[in-house]
Amino acid sequence: MQIALAAKYIGASIATLGLGGAAIGIALVFVALINGTSRNPSLRSTLFPQAILGFALSEACALFVSAAISLYSNGFVLMGILYVLIYVGAIAILFLFILSLLNIEYNYKGTIHPLIFTILLICLIPLDLSYETYGIVENVNIAYPFNGLLD
């Protein structure tokens, strides 16, 4: 029993390190963007705050996802899912709040033709009709009978 627990902890630490590597990769992209904007003074004032905010957002999300993976691999499935939903959602809301404070001016170049929406609806309606919601709920109820969704 102790070997299985040790294997779970080792797997969780490897997953966390892997996610940390992905976060470093994302950070390198933002560092390259910051480096490019610092060499071009005309772009620095427009892109630099967004680059810093994007870097902070991606690092925070990677941190919370790695903690959720650790919780999930240790058997706390619901806590891992709730951790991601609550904290990453809170970071997204804060990120949107900061973006609203930046007062970015948008230049609208035109409108989208209504034909695009019609084609999109024609493509998406068959997907909606073929989606079996009842089957998914029934499978969840079979796997976890304490839910009682169909009772």
Confidence grade of residue 55 (pLDDT, cut at 50, 70, 90): confident
Confidence grade of residue 85 (pLDDT, cut at 50, 70, 90): confident
Cα distance between residue 83 and residue 77, in whole Å? 10
Does the pTM surpass 0.75? The reply is no
Percent of the residues in the chain that have a pLDDT greater than 70, as a whole number = 64
* pLDDT computed for residue 59 by the predictor: 75
Per the structure block, which two tokens stand in for 96?
Answer: 């949107």
Burial class (CB in 10 A: 0-12, 13-18, 19+), 56: middle
53 pLDDT higher than 70? yes
Percent of the residues in the chain that have a pLDDT greater than 90, as a whole number = 0
Per the structure block, which two tokens stand in for 102?
Answer: 């930046």
The pLDDT tens digits of the residues spanning 8-51 come to 777 777 777 776 777 777 777 777 777 776 666 666 666 667 77
Class of domain 2-107: mainly alpha
Boundaries of every domain in the chain: 2-107, 111-151
